[in-house]
Amino acid sequence: MIFGRKKRSALEEEAAEKAPATPVPDAPEEALPEEDGQEVSEAEAAAREWDSEFEREEGPFDIDEVDLEADADDVQRLDLGSVVVTPFEGMTMQLQLNRETNVVQSILVGDGNSGLEVAVFAAPTRSSMAPEIREEIVKSTLQQQGKIALVKGPFGAELRRALPVKDQNGNPATHVSRTWMVAGPGWLLRGVLLGKATFEPDNEEAQVALFEFFSNIVVRRGSAPAAPGSLLPMKVPETEA
């Protein structure tokens, strides 16, 4: 428990309230008009409603919403620049580097059975980029002959997709993932679940450690200019001598 947070039973609540998956069609179904004259598919309309119902009172957090001073609590955290994370027992972590710039662009944490890839993007201060990113993911999935659906997840709308791939022996296989997105002041945090937590999405035990990890992330947007949609680079965390 950190930042004076109450212990949360969101996984149990969401399991009871979770709406059925809404498949994203290959071609637009009946659409709903928006104020600006554009059209929104039924699936995206549901996703925006789920996003609007989610509140960040229990995380993920913005740096201005929490007290990370050393005397605030006894929780050990890792400062990666654009994000501050709280390790959990048995956690593994890999830094994902951009080979051209050698900059840390995301992290991959695991609990032995499941993984969570975390990245943070610059975003408009007063609006969310989640709809645009969802649209890109949907298009990419369909172009790769994959399957995708939207469900009500623990952080608003959740994308679940399955992509056809080849295994190490060249045999047909399927890559399954779940994507969480949370918008904050000037940023958008994305988490991509992999492994057991994706094959057993209703198994709370399989995802609870990664769920809590994602909830406890603190985003440090910073004041440097950044184009909406651009990655906010991370840094290698300092370790005690």
pLDDT of residue 8: 42
CB under 8 Å to 65, separation ≥6 — which residues? none
31-33 and 39-41: which strand pairing? antiparallel
Tokens 């649209």 appear where?
135
pLDDT of residue 227: 93
DSSP character for 167? Answer: -
Per-residue pLDDT at 51 = 96
Domain limits, the chain: 19-219
Confidence of residue 145 (pLDDT cuts 50, 70, 90): very high
**pLDDT tens digits along 77-132:** 999 999 999 999 999 999 999 888 888 999 999 999 999 999 999 998 878 899 99
Output the CA torsion sign for 80, 83, 84, 85. Answer: negative
Q: What are phi and psi of 147, to 5 degrees?
A: -120, 145
Beta partners for residue 107, in sequence order: 95, 118
Query: What's the pTM?
Result: 0.83
